[in-house]
Amino acid sequence: MERKEISQAVIGRLPRYYRYLGELMEGGVERISSNDLSKRMRVTASQIRQDLNNFGGFGQQGYGYNVKYLYTEIGKILGLDKNHNIIIIGVGNLGQALANYAAFESRGFILKGLFDVNPRLEGVAVRGVPIRMMDELKDFVINNDIEIAALTIPKSKAIEVAAMLVENGVKAIWNFAHTDLSLPEDVIVENVHLSESLMKLSYNVTRYREEHEEE
């Protein structure tokens, strides 16, 4: 089926639909109307209908959405019906925290390898996965069908290491280093900035405080 281009804003909302639908399924709910889903998710029913219409709707008028079907279809759209092999570069505080997060596997993200430059970390295992040195990276990527690399190294090294990953065949980078990577267009980069999320929280907390001080 040919799919029309879907905006990144819609894609950005899909994981949340996926999570809510997963919870509904666990609770034994088989059908849900866009109005009920809207109340739970605190987004408008029309937003839900518009978002899901991008993919053909999945709902029948007056009948609601089939929760399991919608969950499965959104999972397919997000590529969660397939496994994705992942490596982590930089196994310090953040890299280790990510490596220890076992729930990734339940979504099909398989942690295949950990890499660092610190020789003291060589061979140390995190959740059964040994830390390797960077000189093993090239062969490892080729032999283990690695699709995604998480980059949890210092900012100063990120650009150089990202280029090396791409040279060695990695097609997608989950970038935690606080720097923009300029890479060939066919390389997919997802930047993660916890601090930006915290700044948004700070804005909202500040605004809330100001509003209540005025009362």
Residues that bind ligand NAD (CB under 6 A): 89-95, 115-118, 134, 152-155, 157, 161, 176-178, 192-195
Instruction: State the nearest-atom distance from the C-beta of 131 to ligand NAD, in Å.
Output: 9
Sign of CA dihedral 86, 87, 88, 91: positive
Q: Are 175 and 158 in contact (CB under 8 A)?
A: yes
Binding-site positions for NAD(+) read 90-95
Binding-site positions read 90-95
Which strands sit side by side in the sheet containing 59-60, from one edge to the other?
A: 31-32, 64-66, 59-60
Instruction: State the nearest-atom distance from the C-beta of 142 to ligand NAD, in Å.
Output: 18
Q: Please give the DSSP secondary-structure letter assigned to residue 51.
A: H
Q: Which is nearer to ligand NAD, 21 or 166 (CB)?
A: 166
Q: Which is nearer to ligand NAD, 122 or 145 (CB)?
A: 122
Instruction: State the nearest-atom distance from the C-beta of 181 to ligand NAD, in Å.
Output: 12
Q: Which is nearer to ligand NAD, 21 or 150 (CB)?
A: 150
Q: Are 47 and 32 in contact (CB under 8 A)?
A: no
Closest-by-Cβ residue to ligand NAD is 92
Question: How large is the angle between the packed helices 8-26 and 34-41, nearest 10 degrees?
Answer: 100
Question: What gap in Å lies between CA 28 and CA 22, rounded to an integer?
Answer: 10
Instruction: State the nearest-atom distance from the C-beta of 166 to ligand NAD, in Å.
Output: 14
Q: Would you call 69 exposed, middle or buried from its count of C-beta atoms within 10 A (0-12, 13-18, 19+)?
A: middle
Q: Which is nearer to ligand NAD, 75 or 90 (CB)?
A: 90
